[in-house]
Structure 1
Amino acid sequence: MVGQTSQEVERIACLWAARLDDGPLPPDSQVELDAWLAGDPRRLGAFARARAVALHSRRAAALGSETSGVFGPSVGRRSDRSGLLSRRAVIAASVLPAAFVAGGAWLYLGQKAEAFETRRGETRVVPLDDGSVMTLNTLSAGDVRYGDGARLVVLKAGEALFNVVADLGRPFVVRSGETTVIANGASFLVRRLTGAPLQVMSFGGDVEIKGETGLPLKLTANTRAVLRQGGRPQHLGGVDADRELAWRHGRIQLENERLAQAVREFARYSATEITLAGAEVADLRITGLFVANDPVAFAHAAAGSLDLKVSVNAERIVLSRG
């Protein structure tokens, strides 16, 4: 189908979720579902929402059957078929409002959170239950919530690289603030740093991004997007994977970067403060590959290449004009 409205996409996703509620699809139907999901970036998110609602309704139905005696014998006399129809009715009635729940609360239904974090200067590789891998950069925090309807990671702060195993029945979703990132069989990075717009980069595969406003944006391999608070995702063009992922090897790669920005980057990895004496020094630009947790070596290299004076003591490093 082409040219479907958002309401039609949600309705069809609901129907597929109801079919899956009966059990695994036959091969021809699975092919049909896969083709439908691949035909429009909106469909994967709609399908995840419908599956989450289906899971929640099953659990509610199970709870109701366990407590049927409280509500009288008529509840216990319903047939299995009428119970199935009831679940489908719940899904159909719930999927549209669930699609607009603030903050993506639908994703949390029935999912147990496992927290993660890294300290300053620490990176960490986290194998996930489905074979996907999450690699955390310094000062990152959040949690992982895996359920029957979706695979969810909430990134509260920091930076994480995701190498995702495809599973069309369970989209891989990353939420950070009011931004939702959906992918399947992709490699992508989400960066949420204090005082900076949120960034999403794709290194392989398609990634869908939904901000607080506007239409979703799809990233293809080796492209990036930025999201400012309250705004919609904006495409920023190509991405240098070696530079952006140098932190995996304990390095910071700078390319004609302002010295002030370089200092902020080193502060993510080391508690040793680098002070720049004056706006003129802060505006100087530097290029090079440096050890992330060695600000002293960086300061000496910067002083040598930019004709600066470096002063080092137990508390801080100062770069100034000689």
Structure 2
Amino acid sequence: MKQDNGKGDRIDAAARSWAVYLHSGDAKPDKIAEFDAWLAADAAHVHAFRRYEKLMSDLVLIPELGEVGLFEGTRAAPGVIAAKVPRRSSQRVAAFVMMIALVGGGITVFGAGRTFQDASPAMVPGYETTIAEIRDVQLADGSVVTLGARSRIEPTFTDKMRIVKLYEGEAFFDVAPDPARPFYVEAGDRLIRVVGTRFDVRQGPETVRIAVVEGVVEVLQADNPRKAEAAREGIAKDVLRAGDEVVARIGSGEKTIGEIEPAEAAPWRRGWLTYENASLGEIVADANRYSPRQIVFEGEGIADLRMTAAFSVEKIDQFILGLEVTYDLYADYSEPDRVRLSRP
């Protein structure tokens, strides 16, 4: 019996999405098991994946990527597949295909600083990075903070507490143990409390993301570390351990708790930006921290597009190209310091 178009489209979208994810460099064992189950559930799934394998074999776009074992002994071709690519130069098409796959109604995309002084004498000097700069900062207690591009922190240390406020951007914390002086990070409307551990914090325009590499982290929705410490036992909190991640929406109690591979946390330290079901506005906010040419939106709704993405900070122009082709957006490069994204 002929497969209905709706089901076929969903299978194609899933096959493309799996191809992107499996070659993102961030594939997790539980997701690979989920892929195996999806592949085994229907022969049409295998056929769809094989079609993309054949296409990628013909294109020979990313030969350096490894292979992915498939159900019934098939093999996944290296690379990412794109649908309905308009006629462009082979170089631009290759750049696009390496990054992006259309998924349903959206897309899946893969592909030394300065210090400033705060006027308050109670503050330790703060630190910020410039565009595309990543910097290690050693704090007075021996903790080390790796600041992502265009990020800013401000420590306040007392004999009872250690507090670091993340004003913008992302930071990876390697906290020196000191049970007598808990370590708090303020990010958005969340507090992160530890006594000695390693974790990553990203503050975006919409969400705060915390990923734990080692130790135990408490995440509280509160705005004052001193008051939170005094009333800690009575405050609701999420307790995260190594391999846990929480994405909390700023301004609400909404949150999503998931799992990560601890060794793969904070991929921005290796030059990659990764997202799951994030808005384009949030992704662009991060990309703009790594590029002197800022991406701006012209028109409503573009920033609200949602996608799962992973791309190199050195390939932001290719990321823009992928958005142009897939979403029929137009990128205007006429200004030297910005790229304007709009609908034609």
TM-score, normalised to structure 2, is: 0.50
From 159, 164, 167, the counterpart of 2:170 = 159
Does the CA-based 8 Å contact 2:267-2:273 persist in structure 1?
yes
Report how far residue 133 of structure 1 moved.
0.9
For the pair shown, the structure with the greater C-alpha radius of gyration is 1
Does the CA-based 8 Å contact 1:119-1:138 persist in structure 2?
yes
Report how far residue 155 of structure 1 moved.
2.0
| In 2, Cα distance between equivalents of 1:298 and 1:304 | 10
Corresponding position: 1:170 with 2:211: no
Cα separation, partners in 2 of 1:161 and 1:310, compared to 1, 3 Å = same
1:298 maps to amino acid: F
Report how far residue 207 of structure 1 moved.
0.5
2:155 maps to amino acid: V
Q: Secondary structure at the match of 1:247?
A: helix
| In 2, Cα distance between equivalents of 1:299 and 1:259 | 11
2:150 maps to amino acid: L
Cα separation, partners in 2 of 1:304 and 1:136, compared to 1, 3 Å = same
Cα separation, partners in 2 of 1:114 and 1:251, compared to 1, 3 Å = same
Does the CA-based 8 Å contact 2:182-2:194 persist in structure 1?
yes
Cα separation, partners in 2 of 1:236 and 1:255, compared to 1, 3 Å = closer
Q: How many residues align?
A: 211
| In 2, Cα distance between equivalents of 1:176 and 1:283 | 24
Cα separation, partners in 2 of 1:264 and 1:158, compared to 1, 3 Å = closer
Q: Secondary structure at the match of 2:284?
A: helix
Aligned ranges 1:102-251 → 2 under 5 Å? 111-176=122-187, 178-194=189-205, 196-212=206-222, 214-229=235-250, 231-232=252-253, 234=255, 236-239=257-260, 245-251=266-272
* Structure number having the greater helix percentage: 1
> 1:191-238: CA deviations, max 9, x gaps?
2223x1333221211111221395122111121224445555845121
2:286 maps to amino acid: E
Does the CA-based 8 Å contact 2:183-2:193 persist in structure 1?
yes
Report how far residue 261 of structure 1 moved.
4.7
| In 1, Cα distance between equivalents of 2:137 and 2:155 | 10
Report how far residue 126 of structure 1 moved.
0.5
2:143 maps to amino acid: S
| In 2, Cα distance between equivalents of 1:287 and 1:159 | 17
Cα separation, partners in 2 of 1:245 and 1:115, compared to 1, 3 Å = same
| In 1, Cα distance between equivalents of 2:323 and 2:296 | 13
Does the CA-based 8 Å contact 1:212-1:230 persist in structure 2?
no
Query: Considering only aligned residues, what root-mean-square deviation do their CA atoms show, in Å?
Result: 3.7
Does the CA-based 8 Å contact 1:210-1:233 persist in structure 2?
no
Report how far residue 242 of structure 1 moved.
6.7
2:270 maps to amino acid: H
| In 2, Cα distance between equivalents of 1:262 and 1:175 | 22
Report how far residue 264 of structure 1 moved.
3.5
| In 1, Cα distance between equivalents of 2:158 and 2:271 | 33
| In 1, Cα distance between equivalents of 2:160 and 2:169 | 26
Cα separation, partners in 2 of 1:237 and 1:276, compared to 1, 3 Å = same
Question: What is the aligned-residue identity percentage?
Answer: 29
Contiguous gaps of at least 5 residues in structure 1: 1-109
Does the CA-based 8 Å contact 2:145-2:174 persist in structure 1?
yes
1:266 maps to amino acid: A
Cα separation, partners in 2 of 1:119 and 1:185, compared to 1, 3 Å = same
Aligned residue number for residue 253 of structure 1:
274
Q: Secondary structure at the match of 2:142?
A: coil
Q: Secondary structure at the match of 1:270?
A: coil
2:269 maps to amino acid: R
Q: Secondary structure at the match of 2:125?
A: strand
| In 1, Cα distance between equivalents of 2:147 and 2:196 | 19
Aligned ranges 1:1-322 → 2 under 5 Å? 111-176=122-187, 178-194=189-205, 196-212=206-222, 214-229=235-250, 231-232=252-253, 234=255, 236-239=257-260, 245-253=266-274, 261-274=282-295, 283=305, 285=307, 287-292=309-314, 294-300=315-321, 302=323, 312-315=333-336, 316-317=338-339
| In 1, Cα distance between equivalents of 2:277 and 2:204 | 21
| In 2, Cα distance between equivalents of 1:262 and 1:229 | 16
Aligned residue number for residue 10 of structure 1:
none
Q: Secondary structure at the match of 1:265?
A: helix
Contiguous gaps of at least 5 residues in structure 2: 1-120, 224-234
Q: Secondary structure at the match of 1:113?
A: coil
1:205 maps to amino acid: G
Larger RCO (CA within 8 A; separation ≥ 6): 2
Report how far residue 146 of structure 1 moved.
2.6
| In 2, Cα distance between equivalents of 1:229 and 1:282 | 16
Report how far residue 319 of structure 1 moved.
6.1
| In 1, Cα distance between equivalents of 2:160 and 2:292 | 41
